Chain A
């Protein structure tokens, strides 16, 4: 038997021990059915975000509400200009009233949802806009009226272009694009990718400190494994879990018609984040005195790291968004590689720490 193969066999044995520990961790999780709870929470978050997006869009974007139109009453000296500005609007149609009083009667009777009371003063047009108070429509009426008023402003500026030093740029046309299109990619998607990572780290802290706390680490040590291997196994299980969950959510999103690009890169990013966070978790639970302070330190620490990382170009959330929305550049891919390097370093530090800690002192 050569020396080489003996080393290899030893390696294989150690690896399998790590895998055994990892498998055991996953079994405990599935037996406690906590993983189901985790999935339910994330589904809930996703569902609620969808609710929010739909709600926000229908609040601000009348195009999404089929057949919706706003009737506006226009009155006063500058009625003609105001009506001309309204001519281009799809949702808001204006009617001229002879007097302010008549316009308000129409408003009070619910025949119009907005009153534009116009007047001229020192060469400018003044508009007093009245919108319904405290109703579902208010936001929509104000948002649409604002569009019309801005159109009026543009027309007036164009007429006065001669007395302007810089002429404002022409406005591109409005083709009814969804102004909340980016919400899914910049808020929801990073949430779904990084929430499982955070939960994984949190379980890693629990898993290690609980063994310490209950004294069951002693029993594990009777088996011929080192603390490093135990930690390795536990960490492995948690690291594997997060990217899988993240990918499940991304698959669900694309089933719902949200196009997700760069799946492999997103997987790499989720894995890197998972390794970093679990390494931090392992480090903290080996150093901190008890579960409570470890858990607190972990959650505050990771949130702090995440917040700090958003100051960097290529922050994790932005990188995930750029990858998924298919706007990634070379520097985005470089950022992912960078995170993988950081992950390798973090894993190295955590293992070094595990090797240095005396299990008897835990």
Chain B
């Protein structure tokens, strides 16, 4: 079949898909949608009519006893999380109040002893400076948290007061400029944010430590002595005056600031670098993160529709007509996927335009969209009912969203954040440059993983799997088996599991992170070993179960060896790709390597994993010859060997 006719098939199926989707939106559905919109609009309208706009989710969670003539009353009344109540000392003890702000002297119901616990469970926080007000909080975690919130509220209140002061010098006696400078810490954990702008930055900071202090001309009026600023031109590309240039990480998007409601205002204004002490803020890319999250929202709706259409083909043998047509299976799937992919691209591009992202954002989110579609496709191929599909869809959304979102939080902290393509979006929104290496590092696992998932799914896009009610694990084995050919394919399959192993291990580390460290480290070593052993042997088991491979010991050893070899090569390839793509990531690791490494140990370090992978894979393969229980036993043994090896290596390094 010619390439052009294949394209024509794909195009036609895509057009069917679109027309099918649009006819299902009939009048009644539209009416129901409009009715829902009206109800939602009515609720919002009622809320606005009542005079509340954008309530904070923390509304009134801390109860503060305070008189309404107290100087602090406005502080409490203005803060969303604090709610003013009648001051009553006893209520502090009974847990009906969390914080008490009251005159320090004896006045009516309130009597406070200062500086010390009065023995009744109420914690005195003490008198407020020279004023006559004292603060006490309930002896609970909530009580101390309330005090912390109250403290922040007073700070905010003072800031608002000072903003109204006519005498600026007295109101703002201190001004701060925040700048960042790379520091080679002894632990070797330094790293730039992006691979390509670092060089320039390093150059200019070297000269700073010279003694050029205080002698350069101060162009900006708001500058005092900026001795270490003398050479900062050229660090950044969009700069004109040398005042705020050194602050590479913290460029606010000007168009970001005026978005966001009352609640988000405080959070969205993150990342300032100059002003009064209240105005500077740590490098937490909150606004960019929120905007990056917007990219993920439409994915959830797209995969819902997409999963539905795939499963639809499988119900009542509807897909049979397409299957018997002289069209390749891959083309059918491509045609059915194309409209949803296009919808995703349109949505991504629209959002990118809306939030001020560029081409990079689109290019970075595209692999995420592909991963969403690919995993939904596989899920829809395995699911037995719509109910099951709903769970699959929710699972896909939750896992992928956390997987791409959480690393992006650490964008400014560590280059490892680049395991998520969303980090690229955050970086672009912050105005940082991203190198090609960074892009490939972030997106390649997603592209590769999506391709593998699609291949797996297409493998079972056939009559015997589509229209049967097999259990999901069996279908999974079928899907793997459909991709195997000869023994050599076992090695390739092992290598291809690397992206998934990578993802699985990261998720395991994140999930086990909360446990105490003495448990976490050994547990992680075992879990990592288990994940890798499963990845190396599950396809061997699938192949043997379907009688693709015979059950002789010789075959099992051969398959195991090949699988281990394939996995080893894949792992090494990834490592090399990382070194090429993200040099600064390796910089930290290299400092950890002990100094006196002889060629012999290097060889041992290189060949050690190879031997390990082949041996353990062979053990699992031997077990896979028999029934499932034996496979499990063998894999357990392989996991233990692997974990012991991991443990030995780790303790050798530490």
Q: Which residues of A contact B (CB under 8 A)?
A: 28-29, 32, 34, 37-38, 41, 44-45, 47-48, 50-52, 54-55, 60, 76, 99-101, 104-105, 107-108, 110, 113, 117, 119-140, 142-143, 146, 149-150, 152-153, 156-157, 159-161, 163-166, 168-179, 181-182, 185-187, 190, 199, 202-203, 206-207, 209-210, 213-215, 259, 280, 283-284, 287-297, 299-301, 304-305, 307-313, 315, 317-318, 321-322, 325-327, 329
Contact = CB atoms under 8 A, between A and B. Distances in A.
Contacts of A312: 43, 46-47, 50, 52, 55
B160 to A, nearest CB: 10
A110 B386 contact: no
Interface string B299-329: 0110011001100100110000000000000
A76 B174 CA distance: 14
29 contacts: A37-B392, A41-B394, A48-B511, A100-B227, A117-B228, A124-B175, A127-B174, A128-B179, A129-B177, A134-B182, A134-B413, A138-B180, A149-B280, A153-B173, A159-B173, A169-B157, A172-B135, A182-B81, A185-B61, A203-B387, A206-B389, A210-B386, A292-B21, A292-B309, A305-B43, A312-B55, A318-B59, A321-B57, A327-B83
Contact of B513 (A54, A163, A309): A54
A305 B228 contact: no
B61 A322 contact: yes
Given A108-B183, A150-B278, A163-B167, A172 B191 contact: no
B406 A52 contact: yes
B546 interface: no
A153 B174 contact: yes
A138 B190 CA distance: 11
Interface in B130-177: 130-131, 133, 135, 137, 141-152, 154-155, 157-158, 161-162, 164-167, 169-177
A138 B406 contact: no
A202 B307 CA distance: 14
Interface stretch (B22-30, B252-260, B534-542, B593-601): B22-30
Given A45-B398, A171-B128, A181-B141, A287 B58 contact: no
Nearest to A318: B59
B113 interface: no
A44 B399 contact: yes
Contact of B151 (A52, A101, A174, A294): A174
A286 to B, nearest CB: 9
Nearest to B173: A156
Given A100-B228, A186-B58, A296-B304, A171 B155 contact: yes
Interface string B29-73: 101110011011101101110101111011111110000000110
Interface of B: 21, 24-26, 28-29, 31-33, 36-37, 39-41, 43-44, 46-48, 50, 52-55, 57-63, 71-72, 75, 81, 83, 95, 98, 123, 125-126, 128-131, 133, 135, 137, 141-152, 154-155, 157-158, 161-162, 164-167, 169-186, 189-193, 201, 208-211, 213-214, 223-229, 248-249, 276-278, 280-284, 300-301, 304-305, 308-309, 312, 315-316, 384-392, 394-395, 398-399, 402, 406, 409, 412-415, 510-511, 513-514
The 7 closest A-B pairs by CB, nearest first: A311-B47, A177-B148, A170-B129, A181-B145, A177-B144, A156-B173, A149-B277
A136 B277 CA distance: 22
B283 A139 contact: yes
Contacts of B61: 182, 185-186, 321-322, 325, 327
Contact of A171 (B151, B178, B183): B151
Contacts of A190: 57
Given A100-B214, A164-B170, A182 B145 contact: yes
Contacts of B164: 166
Contact of B162 (A55, A159, A168): A168
B185 A311 contact: no
A292 B155 CA distance: 51
A135 B387 contact: no
A293 to B, nearest CB: 5
A206 B155 contact: no
Contacts of A209: 386
A289 B47 CA distance: 33
A314 B336 CA distance: 44
B293 to A, nearest CB: 14
A164 B181 CA distance: 37
A44 B398 contact: yes
A272 to B, nearest CB: 15
Nearest to B146: A177
Nearest to B123: A175
A69 B572 CA distance: 40
B152 A179 contact: yes
Contacts of A168: 158, 161-162
Nearest to A28: B387
Contact of B24 (A113, A127, A165, A292): A292
Contact of B249 (A133, A171, A297): A133
Nearest to B32: A287
Contacts of B170: 157, 160-161, 163-164
A126 B394 contact: no
Contacts of B283: 138-139, 142
